[in-house]
Amino acid sequence: MASQPILIHKLTPAQIDLIDRLASRDDVQMDGLAYPDLVAYQELEKLGFAEMRVEPRRKIRIVITDQGAQVRAAGYISKKPVARLTEPQIAALRFLAERPRQFNDIPASMKDTVRRLRLRGWAESQEDGQFWTRITAEGWQLLNLLNY
């Protein structure tokens, strides 16, 4: 029987990065966001930490909400869970912790999970003629909390 996901109350690295940009700039436009930022925005919007503003004859902007500013001031810790860490994600983190992996070294059943870890900022990609994925410092922190 599968165990319940672990609820994470600290914003993911990707969410923190976007919240910081929203707090420091007033011109974050929806059409200027890369795919990872769009995923982070969607998660932040569901939590009520970011929202879009549509002004007449202007591009759609993304702004931080009052709740988002409060979470930022609280060290990015939320009362609401911001992510759910599942068994496959923990297994993928442990797999990447062994050593950086080439794309072809990642089992097919784990590729989407690893992609999601990269989107959240717990893993990152490198390219030096080959495509590598490795765990980030934040991913290591998460594993250490789980008693890797």
**CA 73 – CA 67 distance, rounded (Å):** 10
Alpha-carbon span 60 to 111, nearest angstrom: 33
Q: How many CB atoms lie within 10 A of CB 43?
A: 20
In the chain, domain spans: 6-73, 86-145
* Dist. CA 92–CA 50, nearest whole Å: 29
Please provide the average confidence, as pLDDT, over all residues in the chain. 91
CATH code of the region 86-145: 1.10.10.10
Q: Which has the higher per-residue pLDDT, 117 or 3?
A: 117
Phi, psi (rounded to 5 degrees) for 43: -65, -45
Reported as a pLDDT band with limits 50, 70 and 90, residue 10 is very high
Q: Do domains 6-73 and 86-145 have the same CATH topology?
A: yes
What's the confidence (pLDDT) of residue 2?
Answer: 61
Quick one: average pLDDT of 121-143? 91
Architecture of domain 6-73: Orthogonal Bundle (1.10)
Q: Which pTM was predicted?
A: 0.88
pLDDT in tens, 80-99: 999 999 999 999 999 999 99
